[in-house]
Amino acid sequence: MFRNVTLKGFPFIEVELKLFLAALYILNNDEQHSNFIIRNTYRKINETKEYEKYIAASHFIKFLKAINKKPINKTDEKNAYMYQLFKINNKGRYRIFEFLSTNDELCNKLITKHINK
């Protein structure tokens, strides 16, 4: 999908779309594609000189990485912590996922999917 569309002039939107796509891959049990997108997006953020724009995205990446790992036990304290960091930092001008409702439905589904693995 991203091979045909270029968002070169809109890096923030590209990061947001790729993270949403990675979350959808996780919901569909496609860990390989989600890990690929997460790694590439993380690298893209690290290459930028405007790190303050991507604080919420960085926390969401950490949340996705924690969810994508095989669970060692049924506790999800790390996932909840990563999600709370994301929520705290996902405000203001550089908020991501403004197109989603604020009832946390996507993240709750990701956490539930992780527990049920």
**According to the model, what pLDDT value does residue 41 have?**
92
% helix / strand / coil in the chain, to the nearest 5?
70, 0, 30
Q: Is residue 61 part of a domain?
A: yes
The Cα 26–Cα 61 span in angstroms is: 12
The Cα 86–Cα 74 span in angstroms is: 21
Q: Is residue 2 part of a domain?
A: no
pTM: 0.79
Q: Is residue 5 part of a domain?
A: no
Residues 6+ apart with CB under 8 A from 42: 58, 61
pLDDT in tens, 71-94: 545 456 777 788 888 888 888 888
Q: How many domains does one find in the chain?
A: 1
Q: pLDDT band at 61, cuts 50/70/90?
A: very high
Q: Is residue 110 part of a domain?
A: yes
What is the domain extent for residue 94? Answer: 11-115
pLDDT in tens, 3-44: 666 667 778 888 999 999 999 998 888 889 999 999 999 998
Residues 6+ apart with CB under 8 A from 102: none
Q: Is residue 1 part of a domain?
A: no
**According to the model, what pLDDT value does residue 72 have?**
47
Q: Is residue 16 part of a domain?
A: yes
